[in-house]
Amino acid sequence: MTAAPGTAPEADPKATPEAATAPVRDSPERPARRRGPARQALVLLVPGLLALLLTYALPLVWVVRMSLNESGEGGLIRQTVSLATFGEVLGSSHYGNVIRQTVELGVLVTFFTLVVSYPVALFLARTTSRWRGLLMALAIAPLLISSVARTFGWMAILGRQGVVNKTLDGLGLIDAPLHLANNLTGVVIASTEIYMPFAILAMISGFGRLDPALEHAAASLGAPRRTVFRRIVLPLTLPGVLTAGLLVFVLSLSGYVTPRLIGGGRVFVLATEIYDEAITSLDWPVAAVLSMLLLALFGVVIAVYLWAQRALEARFTGAQEARS
Amino acid sequence: MADTPVSEGHLVLEALAKTYPGKDGAAVRGVDLTVERGRMLAVLGPSGCGKSTTLRMIAGLVEPTAGRIRVDGRDLTDVPVHRRDMGVVFQSYALFPHLDVARNVAFGLEMRGTPKAELRRRVDEALDLVRLGHLAGRRIAQLSGGQQQRVALARALVVKPAVLLLDEPLSNLDAQLRSAMRDEIVRIQRETGVTTVFVTHDQQEALSMADGVAVMNQGRIEQTGTPEDIYERPERPFVARFVGRANLLDGTVSGVEADTVAVALPGLGTVRAAGGPVTAGAATTVMLRPHRIALTGAAPGSGAVRGTVLSAGYAGETVAYRVRVGDAGPVLDVERPTGAHASYGPGAEVELSWDPDAPRLVAAEEGTE
């Protein structure tokens, strides 16, 4: 960014206060000054845009290009432009299963995460206890530990010789160990706990419209507690739940560590499959096609989210206008 | 107290008290109140005096630590909020943002299982009552503050509640709207004849709207009476000071007659005041409203009370003077209308006079302060 002679007056910080207080004398300077803020904003955006271009846009273009190649014998990549690899992947029952299981895992994890996080978030959003700050910190404290470490923790809990099986066995409640790890069940359980802090945070920030006076008003009008929840609390917290749902679903679609470690090689999802194809089989075109499919899945999820959000917002029409 | 037979009042509070755990001192310390059917009572007090807590206890939103709440002689103390049949208008209005105006108003009727046709008719009636019939389909966020206030009133009244409770109903409105809504609330209350209790910290509101006023301070009711009682005949210095402006002068009772009491006020001499009962020799306080004191230029040799103007503050319709009586006497607030009277600048020598019925005895305050 070399300063061209024409831009120098704006760049000079001393020129600004003078221009702000004294009336502008020479008119030629005026139009240049008016463009100033926009140009400055552009300059400020450049580093971020460059970083995005280098780390996101270019690799993405490269992945798109790779997905149009074909894989030859012995890990060779045949440079071409065709949809053959797409056809191969979409036609195979194996990859079909992978996509189905990815979505299934996402749906299950999202459902359970929302169900267990909602009461916690609702409590934290409504409590007036002086411990609120501490409880809030506790709820999101798991984020301080790497999800790899937490996944290993779940392996120790859910495994054949894990805490759960040992306890149940010790109590004589089971004859054979329960299959809690190395399958979808284990991945769902561990993922649910791992995504809870995200869900709780997203919900609390989305519960803004919840005002205790609304619940009091509903009660004073004759609504028992359950009706207050159904008619007032639930509809008003739904936008927060929706946002949390989007976040968890997207996180779980792209989740790699937990399915890999707890799945024990028996849970195949897009993220693990992409890794295997790219690193183990060195079949980059297939890995690229799977990446594109994952991206398409995100697109669908976000489209559904936006549609649902708009449907919800339609019930608050005007609420948006009033706030903006 | 608990054995009181069926009382005259429609809404009766008996020794109602609330103590919050972990906080020293009670929020409400034994409130006795009676509101007759169809009347409007204002509970007036400074913030933190326990008036809102009292209202919330009547509504059932706060559980009293002690005391009873009766409506029509029926004890409601242990009846949960949703079966209490109270219409509550909250300070923030608490309208449901996800429902439109008509559905906000219909909420209470839906809870009572009102048949659809009747529900629609009553919602329309309630909206007409608050003059919002044309806005039934609007979203809450599209309404102005005054309109929201009306929706809140309609929503509370549509269920024909036993008692209407208003928590600082005008505090969220700007000054102009406030006086319009004041008249509007009075009209609606007259039209529906619903027994009403409202809480406010604004003495103008309380005096102009209510049939009766209960002045509250530090969790207790200081005085209950008509607006005129409260303003003209305050029984305690707190009431005199909180409702309107007042000069409070401490003195000693020097003589008791049929309707007046002579009180020796240091620096002012003996003043005849109405009120009582008191006994000679007792310490007491005399109240003189600033606007009841007249000022005239000092005429040499007259026996009247003389003073020196310390300051004069012009306030449009009135001038607020501070006048020191004698050389080292008390400083009195004096308020004179502008225009018809001569005005005095600081340092002017003046004579002070008042009608014989202006000074009132307010019994000495008990306890602290």
Kindly report, residue by residue over B129-139, the tens digit of the pLDDT: 999 989 998 88
Put simply, whether B234 touches A (Cβ < 8 Å) is no
The second-level CATH assignment, the architecture, of B247-362 is Beta Barrel (2.40)
**Residue that has been written with the tokens 């009292």 in this structure:** B54
Nearest to B82 among A209, A214, A219 (CB): A219
Interface test with A, best of B61, B81, B110, B155 (most A CBs within 10 A): B81
Q: CATH code for B11-237?
A: 3.40.50.300
Task: Name the packing angle between helices A93-126 and A184-206 (round to 10°).
Answer: 40
Residue (of A108, A86, A103, A101) closest to A291 by Cα position: A86
Q: What is the rounded distance in angstroms from the CA atom of residue B133 to the CA atom of residue B123? A: 9
Nearest to A221 among B107, B139, B141 (CB): B107
Q: What pLDDT does residue A14 have?
A: 42
Write out pLDDT tens, residues B173-197: 888 888 888 999 999 999 999 999 9
Closest residue, chain A, to B154 (C-alpha): A221
Asked, colleague to colleague, whether B11-237 and B247-362 share their fold, the answer is no
Q: Which residues of A touch B140 (CB under 8 A)?
A: 318-319
User: Which residues 111-170 of B are in CB contact (within 8 Å) with A?
Assistant: 111-112, 138-142, 155-156, 159
Q: How many CB pairs under 8 A join A and B?
A: 84
Q: What is the rounded distance in angstroms from the CA atom of residue B251 to the CA atom of residue B325? A: 15
Structural domains in chain A, CATH included, are 93-314 (1.10.3720.10)
Put simply, whether B61 touches A (Cβ < 8 Å) is yes
CA separation, residue B133 to residues B90, B118, B174, B287 (Å): 22, 16, 23, 49
List per-residue pLDDT tens for chain A, 324 residues long. 333 444 334 444 444 444 444 444 444 445 545 566 788 888 899 999 999 999 999 999 999 999 999 887 777 888 888 888 899 888 999 999 999 999 999 999 999 999 999 999 999 998 888 888 899 999 989 989 988 899 999 999 998 888 898 999 889 888 888 888 888 999 999 999 999 999 999 999 888 778 889 999 999 999 999 999 999 999 999 999 999 999 999 999 999 999 999 988 888 899 999 999 999 888 899 999 999 999 999 999 999 999 998 888 776 654 433 333
Q: Which residues of B touch A225 (CB under 8 A)?
A: 82
Nearest to B82 among A214, A223, A319 (CB): A223
- Please list, in sequence order, all residues whose beta carbon lies within 8 angstroms of the beta carbon of residue B176, skipping any fewer than 6 positions away: none
Question: Which amino acid makes up residue B144?
Answer: S
Q: What is the nearest CA distance from A209 to chain B, expressed in angstroms?
A: 8
Write out pLDDT tens, residues B206-243: 999 999 999 999 999 999 999 998 998 888 889 998 99
User: Which residues 73-92 of B are in CB contact (within 8 Å) with A?
Assistant: 81-88, 90-92
Q: What is the rounded distance in angstroms from the CA atom of residue A1 to the CA atom of residue A4? A: 9
Q: What is the nearest CA distance from B208 to chain A, expressed in angstroms?
A: 27
The 3-state DSSP class for residue B328 equals: coil
* Domain map (residue ranges) of chain B: 11-237, 247-362
Q: What pLDDT does residue A293 have?
A: 93
Buried b (16+ CB within 10 A) or exposed e, B80-106: ebbebbbbbbbbebbbbbbbbbbbbbb
Q: What is the nearest CA distance from B205 to chain A, expressed in angstroms?
A: 23
Residue (of B351, B336, B359) closest to B248 by Cα position: B359
Would you give the DSSP letter of residue B37? T
Residue (of B293, B258, B290, B291) closest to B276 by Cα position: B258
Entry pTM: 0.78
Q: What pLDDT does residue A321 have?
A: 38
Residues B309-313, mean pLDDT to the nearest whole number: 87
Q: How confident is the model at residue B344 (pLDDT cuts 50, 70, 90)?
A: confident
Put simply, whether B286 touches A (Cβ < 8 Å) is no
Please answer yes or no on whether B94 and A235 come within 8 Å at the CB atom: no
> Is B283 in contact with B364 (CB distance < 8 Å)?
yes
Q: Which residues of A touch B142 (CB under 8 A)?
A: 317-318, 321-322
> Is A282 in contact with A221 (CB distance < 8 Å)?
no
Q: Which residues of B touch A211 (CB under 8 A)?
A: 92, 94
Q: What is the rounded distance in angstroms from the CA atom of residue A46 to the CA atom of residue A299? A: 27
Residue (of B306, B90, B289) closest to B104 by Cα position: B90
Q: How confident is the model at residue B275 (pLDDT cuts 50, 70, 90)?
A: confident
